[in-house]
Structure 1
Amino acid sequence: MASSKTKLRLFVDTKVGKVPCAEADKNFIDFLIYLLSLPIATAVRILKEKNMHLAGVGSLGHLYESLEKLPDSFLQLNQDKSSLLNPRAPVYATGIPLTLSDYDFKARKSYKCSGCYDYVAEVPYLTCSKCKGKVNIAMSYVPPSPANFPVAVEGGFLKGLATYIVMDNLEFMPMSTTMFVSLLKKSGVKDLDALDEIEVDLGVEEGLKLLKLSLESKTILTSFYFGDRNGHGFLDVKSMDSYLGPGLTN
């Protein structure tokens, strides 16, 4: 992980209590892509382990807990409950701030056929579909990290040169002045002077809250800044007249 924190510049419409968009660099967008790559079960497990109130993610929390409580005797012999509850993320990159998963990709194993060597599986001792031999030769996983790439690359998913605009629903695109003004108008912002610019420092705790909101809301930045439907703020904002709270800087 390159950093345990990243920054996000929020554009806050103080008249209507809304965050129509934000300005972000590569680090924050890398984190959003990382969230997108997480298996659903992994996302739910992370929130469960951090006591993030699974009821807030709709039926997914109940679905996860039902499988968790289900006796192993109900599963097919070739199925493993732990693998279903803790699936492997299909995408890997180093240097992503706010990483939430503690999965060790270096320990990831695959198995190849001991007969023809043509087939690979993630579960050992399966029968090869070609030669009928056993798929039982362990192979270590080589992550596509910068250290393993033949030319110099940065960590994360995106190049570090661009600045991005992120909408309230987490839609993002490269920043341009024309696009910025157009999107603000589309979001219903009538007075650009009414927008306050608030720079937020995001740590792992804020990353967890963004993950939770991404599963339950379409106005994520607004809910993140002003609070949920019950008025519970995620950034310790004390009142509508006081926008600077713990973790916020002008």
Structure 2
Amino acid sequence: MACSKTKLRLTVDTKAGKVLFAEAGKDFIDFLIYLLSLPIATAVRILKEKNLNPLVGSLSHIYESLEKLPESFLQPNQDKNSLLNPKAPVYATGIPLMLYDYDFKARNSFKCSGCYIHMAEVPNLNCSSCKGKVDLVMSFLPPSPANYSLGPVEGGFLKGVATYIVMDNLEFMPLSTKMFVSSIKKHDVKDLDSLEEIEVDLGVEEVC
């Protein structure tokens, strides 16, 4: 499945040949916030798939070593696939650029079929209360706007009413005239005629 794209509007100083900052909507800022909670193994896997191993350094070696390690070396309550592909956080839905192969419909947890008290993400564990098996499959209900009963809610983390300014170090803040002028002054732009706006499409490959 093709990954989604989001748009950025770059303000470029054509004389200096550099991007001063970008203007972005909530979709891109939602993605930046989502990155804060992304499991490291997931980030490494994405970079490996894009042949960008040098960007993750020794972390890729850890990942590859675990890939090659026989299952017989793992504890019986550990699953190698779960370690290599940890579940992404589910605080919000509709995050653009997020894992394009991640399927909430396939996400399950397991509940004790004896006392119904405990649950786990790994099946067939022994329940600490009744000593039965935690093997009752429970389907995951994603926190989608349709499942939220306290009024209209968008996907993502932020409300869609603001535009944001994003610096080259990924610092971001709501866009305002004051912030725009401050950014221009910070880059010591002498000739406003040298400024040009360029709109670009951003996807997973560009982010990596």
Q: Indicate the TM-score class for this superposition, using the shorter chain for normalisation.
A: 0.7 to 0.9
Q: Is the 8 A contact 1:109 1:141 kept in 2?
A: yes
Partner of 1:47: 47
User: How far does residue 70 in structure 1 lie from its aligned partner after superposition?
Assistant: 1.9
1:58 aligns with 2:70: no
Instruction: State the structure with bigger RCO (CA 8 A, min sep 6), 1 or 2.
Output: 2
Q: Is the 8 A contact 1:10 1:22 kept in 2?
A: yes
Question: Structure 1: which 5+ residue stretches go unaligned?
Answer: 213-250
User: How far does residue 45 in structure 1 lie from its aligned partner after superposition?
Assistant: 1.2
Partner of 1:121: 120
Partner of 2:156: 156
Query: Which residue type is aligned with residue 30 of structure 2?
Result: D
User: How far does residue 192 in structure 1 lie from its aligned partner after superposition?
Assistant: 6.2
User: How far does residue 56 in structure 1 lie from its aligned partner after superposition?
Assistant: 2.5
Query: Which residue type is aligned with residue 45 of structure 1?
Result: R
Deviations 1:39-98 (A, max 9, x none): 111122122223x32122222222211221222222222211111110000225333333
Q: Is the 8 A contact 1:116 1:131 kept in 2?
A: yes
Partner of 1:180: 180
User: How far does residue 32 in structure 1 lie from its aligned partner after superposition?
Assistant: 2.1
Structure 2 CA distance for aligned equivalents of residues 171 and 136 of structure 1: 45
Identical columns (%): 73
User: Superposition RMSD on alpha carbons, in Å?
Assistant: 2.3
Deviations 1:155-197 (A, max 9, x none): 22211111111111112111112123334444x4343624322
Query: Which residue type is aligned with residue 82 of structure 2?
Result: S
Give the TM-score, by structure 1 length: 0.73
Query: Which residue type is aligned with residue 35 of structure 1?
Result: L
Give the TM-score, by structure 2 length: 0.86
Q: Is the 8 A contact 2:39 2:88 kept in 1?
A: yes
Structure 2 CA distance for aligned equivalents of residues 61 and 15 of structure 1: 40
Question: Structure 2: which 5+ residue stretches go unaligned?
Answer: none
Q: Is the 8 A contact 1:37 1:91 kept in 2?
A: no
Structure 2 CA distance for aligned equivalents of residues 64 and 103 of structure 1: 19
